[in-house]
Amino acid sequence: MKRLILSFVVFGLLASAAQQKGGSAKAGGSAAKPAEQVKTYTGNDLNWGPAPAVLPAGAKLAVLEGNPMQPGPYTMRLQMPAGYKIPPHHHHAREHVTVISGEFLVGMGDKFDETKMSSFSAGAFAYLEPTVHHYAMAKGDTVIQLHGQGPWQILYINPADNPQKSAAKK
């Protein structure tokens, strides 16, 4: 009988310690987070707008998290029409890319060369360090997701490739 009572006491102490450490849904420890701490999206929830002027015209952008142009974490999607090209460039911070749909072609180097591009289909993921010079193209209608630490910037190898520079000349 003493062992049975001791077992219940130990079990009770362990359960109490677990509740204090991790909590339970009833006690509020792992209850649902407030709405501002959780955001979910379905394909129809995305708010697409024109891509920033630093990218060639024709793409659309949807920001899912943060502000890519400010310091801090961000997640955004870039929707590109077939044949859309991004000239050779690099970034100030590591770039994380996931192909959501379509086919995304990527090449390495300072000159755009379609014959040296690798193809990535939906589900593919890659990251590139800031020093990696690369260029890209959408083979068909393509959506990629980019995430990282802002501010997000694109630095063209050839400054004449920057759409903002060519627009300023007009």
Q: What is the pLDDT of residues 77-118, one digit of tens each?
A: 999 999 999 999 999 999 999 999 999 999 999 999 999 999
| Per-residue b or e along 9-37, where b marks 16 or more CB atoms closer than 10 Å to that residue's CB | eeeeeeeeeeeeeeeeeeeeeeeeeeeee
Residues 6+ apart with CB under 8 A from 133: 88, 89, 90, 108, 109, 110, 157
For residue 168, the model assigns a pLDDT of: 55
| Higher-scoring residue by pLDDT: 102, 32 | 102
Q: Span 30-50, mean pLDDT?
A: 76
**Residue 159 pLDDT > 90:** yes
Whole-angstrom distance, CA of residue 145 vs CA of residue 150: 15
**Residue 119 pLDDT > 50:** yes
**Residue 20 pLDDT > 60:** no
Q: Mean pLDDT in the chain?
A: 83
Q: Span 149-158, mean pLDDT?
A: 95
Domain layout of the chain by residue ranges: 1-32, 39-169
Tokens of 134: 């690369």
Domain 39-169 fold is Jelly Rolls (2.60.120)
Q: Strand 125-128 to strand 134-138: parallel, antiparallel, or no bridges (unpaired)? A: unpaired
CB 88 within 8 A of CB 112: yes
For residue 15, the model assigns a pLDDT of: 38
The dihedrals phi and psi of 40, each to the nearest 5 degrees, come to -125, 155
For residue 14, the model assigns a pLDDT of: 35
pLDDT band at 35 (very low <50, low <70, confident <90, very high): low
The dihedrals phi and psi of 17, each to the nearest 5 degrees, come to -65, -40
Measured in residues, the chain has a length of: 170
For residue 44, the model assigns a pLDDT of: 78
CB 70 within 8 A of CB 93: no
Q: Span 19-47, mean pLDDT?
A: 62
Tokens of 84: 């859309």
pLDDT band at 32 (very low <50, low <70, confident <90, very high): low
Q: What is the pLDDT of residues 131-153, one digit of tens each?
A: 899 999 999 999 999 999 999 99
For residue 42, the model assigns a pLDDT of: 76
